[in-house]
Amino acid sequence: MTETLETCRLLYNDLLAERIRNHTGTFEQKRALAACRRENKYLKRVHSQVLQDVTFRLGKAFGAFFGGLTRFPRFKRKGRCNSFTYPQLGGFRIVNRRLYLSMIGEVRIVPHRQIVGSPKTCTIIRDIDRWCACITVKRTDHGEITSSNKTSIGIDLGVTSLAALNDGTILHTPKLLRKSEVEIKTLQGSLSRKQKGSKNREKTKTALAKSWRKLRDRRNDFAHKTSRFFADNYGTIIFEDLKIGNMVKNHHLASAILDACWGKTRRLTAYKAERRGGRVILVDPRGTSQECSGRGKVVEKALSERTHSCPFCGLVLDRDVNAAKNILARGLERAPVETEPLPVIRIGKFGLGSKKLAALAVGSSLSANSVD
C-alpha cells in the first residue's frame, strides 16, 4: 500500500506537469494513461482504476481552482499523498473480516459497524502508523431518522464557553488543546534538537504526529457529541453565519476558535438535523450582542462586559444568552417556509442574501476507523 501511494504521488506530479506544459484535459490524460501503463513497470503494479482516479483528483483540483475555491494545484512532495481510491466494486471486495484489494492482496480489517447497502467505492487512507478503509455504500432508505421535535433554538458560539442557548443553557468548552499542550511542546522541542535525517528524528516526528492525531480525535468526538445533542433536542437550530476563516487570522483568538470546533460543529449539526427532519439556519451576526432582546434597543457594551443590562426595559442577563435570543428572533422572522426541510438556510440581516439557500451534500459512508 505504501508503494501504491508513492506511485500515485509520482503520477499526480507527472500529470500536473503535463497539464502546465501542454494544457491537456482530464479525459485526454485518461486516454493516454492506458498506453503509459503498458510501458511503465511501476504503473503495472497498481490497479488501473486507482490510476484513473488520480487523474480525476487532479481534475477536481483544477475545477476548484477555476471556481475560486482553492489555490493553483501544487506538486506533492514525498509523504504528502496519503490515500488512494478504488472507484468501482470490481477493484475490491469484503468477505467476513477480510478486505481484498486488487494488485495488493488480502488485508485484515476491524469494522466499527456493519455494512448496510451496496458498496460502491473504497478509499485506503494512511494515518501516520495506521491504515483506514473508507467505504461508501448505496442505500435505499438513506438512513433517515424520524423525529417529532419541532422546538427552535438560537445558539451563540463563543470562546470562553462553546455555546450559549436562548433558554439560558451554557455549554462549556473542554479546552482540549490545553490538555495536550505540554506533551506537544515537549515533543516539538525535542524534534528541533534532533539531527536531520537521523532515525531518532523520525521517531520523534512520528510521536509528535500521533500526539496531534490524539488531539484531533478528541475534537472530533466532542464535535459529534455536541451536534448530536442539538439535532436530537431541537427541530430548528439557528447559528450565526460567522466567517471563521477570517476570524482565525487574529492570532490572539485563532487557537481558541479552532479548539472550540465552531465550523465542524455547525457542519455536523446540519446533516444530523436534516436526517431527523430538522433544519439549520444561519443569520447575520452583526449587532446580536449589542441589541436588547427585550425591546430591540441598541445597548453598546465593550467585549469585556459579560452582562447585558438594558437601561430602557431593565432586562439583566448574560451577554451571550441575550445574543442567542436575538439570533433566534432573526432566524424565525425571516426564515422562508419550505415544504421539505433543507439542511442549511443562510439569512442576511435584511432577508435572504445573494446565496439564498446553501444545502450540504450528504453521502453515506462507512469507515473501518474514524478518519478526519
Nine-digit cell string for 352: 435572504
CA–CA distances in Å: residue 187 to residues 79, 133, 212, 213:
20, 29, 11, 14
Cβ neighbours of residue 200 closer than 8 Å, sequence gap 6 or more: 194
pTM above 0.85, yes or no: no
Which ranges of the chain would DSSP assign to H, the alpha helix?
Answer: 2-22, 26-39, 41-44, 48-66, 176-193, 199-233, 244-247, 254-260, 262-275, 319-334
CA–CA distances in Å: residue 52 to residues 20, 24, 46, 47, 81:
19, 15, 10, 9, 16
Q: What is the percent of the chain where pLDDT is above 90?
A: 40
Beta bridge partners, 157, equal 163
- Cα–Cα dist 236/343, whole Å: 10
Nine-digit cell string for 6: 508513492
Q: What φ, ψ does residue 174 adopt, rounded to 5°?
A: -70, -10
> What number of other Cβ atoms are within 10 A of residue 286's Cβ?
12
Q: What φ, ψ does residue 83 adopt, rounded to 5°?
A: -155, 150
pLDDT of residue 77: 92
3-state secondary structure of 348: strand
DSSP annotation of 354: S
Nine-digit cell string for 164: 450559549
CA–CA distances in Å: residue 84 to residues 27, 121, 125:
19, 11, 7
CA–CA distances in Å: residue 252 to residues 175, 247, 256, 257:
15, 10, 8, 10
Which ranges of 194-291 would DSSP assign to H, the alpha helix?
Answer: 199-233, 244-247, 254-260, 262-275
Based on the number of CB atoms within 10 Å of its own CB, is 320 exposed (0-12), middle (13-18) or buried (19 or more)?
buried
pLDDT of residue 369: 37
CA–CA distances in Å: residue 116 to residues 86, 202, 284:
19, 40, 40
Q: Which residues of the chain have pLDDT under 50?
A: 337-342, 349-372
Q: What φ, ψ does residue 343 adopt, rounded to 5°?
A: -60, -50
- Cα–Cα dist 92/101, whole Å: 5
- Cα–Cα dist 262/257, whole Å: 7
pLDDT of residue 344: 60
